[in-house]
Structure 1
Amino acid sequence: MVFRFSTEQDCEMMRDLIRLKPFAAERGTTLDVWDNVAKSLSTALKVELKKKKEADLAQCAKDIVAESNRRRADREAELSDSDVSDGKQKQFDDGLAFEREQAQAKLQFDMEVQANNRNVILECAKNFSAALANKDE
């Protein structure tokens, strides 16, 4: 069954939410405020809502609040572990420095190989030229 609200009911719900401020409730009282919102809406709308639906909606709101609190606790724990974050940043910076050194060493090695290859090619060209000169004589 689809439950539709009239414009008047929507306005009443908004007034109730503004009055009760469920999102600004103090920590630990949030669920009580949402219970009050559900009760106020039931009486203000003068619509008998099924108990199961009310319980489901209240449970959904409680689950959302609990998840929000869990995330907040995770963020606070993450922020309090700034030493761990600093350690991770240092490890990351050290890794970048190591990779930079490795890249520079590889570049230097490649340049030396190219220089040696040029010298070998020049030496081969000299030997070949000398061999051709000796053959012509």
Structure 2
Amino acid sequence: MVFRFSTEQDCEMMRDLIRLKPFAAERGTTLDVWDNVAKSLSTALKVEFKKKKEANLAQCAKDIVAESNRRRADREAELSDSDVSDGKQKQFDDGLAFEREQAQAKLQFDMEVQANNRNVILECAKLFSAALANKD
């Protein structure tokens, strides 16, 4: 069974959440605040609030999350140290390759800048020598 809220119900729930601020409730009063949210929502929507049914749904959701966490923990435990170290080694090798490429690109750029500077200096020398030759 799939339960969906209508747009009107979503808006009403958001109004109640903004007004009652259940996430900011003091420790120990959180359950009471959420009960107030549920009651005001059921009153506004003219839907009967069934505490036992809601508690069962909440417990079911908690069980699903707990089972999911357990499965994830089992999968993580199955990963061996060699898998992790292989992944770290690959990451390290990739980092070295990237740094090598960056160093080569910087060296190439520096060489191009030096070549351009040499060309500019040669052009300036030609201009100055031509100017000095014309001065005489």
* Alignment TM-score, normalising by the size of structure 2: 0.42
C-alpha displacement of 1:81: 1.9
1:106/1:11 CA distance change after superposition, 3 Å: closer
Higher mean C-alpha displacement, 38-47 vs 50-59 = 38-47
Q: Alignment partner of 2:94: what SS? A: helix
Q: What is the CA distance between 1:111 and its match in structure 2?
A: 0.3
Given that 2:38 and 2:49 are in contact with CA atoms closer than 8 Å, whether structure 1 keeps it comes out as no
Q: More displaced, 53-62 or 94-103? A: 53-62
Deviates more, 1:58-67 or 1:42-51: 42-51
- Paired residue secondary structure (1:76): helix
The 8 Å contact of residues 34 and 58 in structure 1, kept in 2 or not, is answered as no
Q: How many residues align?
A: 136
Which stretch shows the higher mean deviation, 61-70 or 30-39?
A: 30-39
TM-score by length of 1: 0.42
What's the CA shift for 1:131? 0.4
Determine which structure has greater relative contact order: mean sequence separation of CA pairs < 8 Å that are 6+ residues apart, divided by chain length.
Answer: 1
Contact 1:16 1:41 in 2 (8 A): yes
Question: RMSD of the alignment, in Å?
Answer: 11.0
Of all paired residues, the percent bearing the same amino acid is 98
Relative distance call for 1:31 and 1:114 in structure 2 (3 A) is: same
Show structure 1 runs of 4+ deviating over 3 A: 1-79
Gaps of 5+ in 2: none
Gaps of 5+ in 1: none
C-alpha spacing 1:16/1:74, structure 2 compared with 1 (3 Å)? farther
